[in-house]
Amino acid sequence: NSNAFYLKIFDVYGRIVYEEKFSYKFLCADRFVWNGNNNLGKQVEDGCYVVQISTGSNIIIKTAIRMKK
């Protein structure tokens, strides 16, 4: 869909632990805060994760570290 972008979070084994589709209206926000839950609503373990944001033709990949407070 050309009116959407996708956010995926992968664990170190390459498994998708979280994914969500956003409309471009969300791009007005300057940040996204992930609550640390996976797609099933359960907390993931502390550690390194790969965050991928993709549109129809572009992909941005960043790393993130999850640490409990």
Q: Give the pLDDT score at 29.
A: 61
Name the β-bridge partners of 59. 54
- The CA distance from 24 to 14, in Å, is 26
Give backbone dihedrals phi and psi of 25, rounded to 5 degrees, phi first.
-60, -30
Q: Give the pLDDT score at 25.
A: 66
For 13-29, what is each residue's pLDDT tens digit?
A: 999 999 999 876 666 56
Cα 61 to its chain centre, rounded Å, is 10
For 35-60, what is each residue's pLDDT tens digit?
A: 999 999 999 999 999 999 998 788 99
Residue 30: strand, helix, or coil? coil
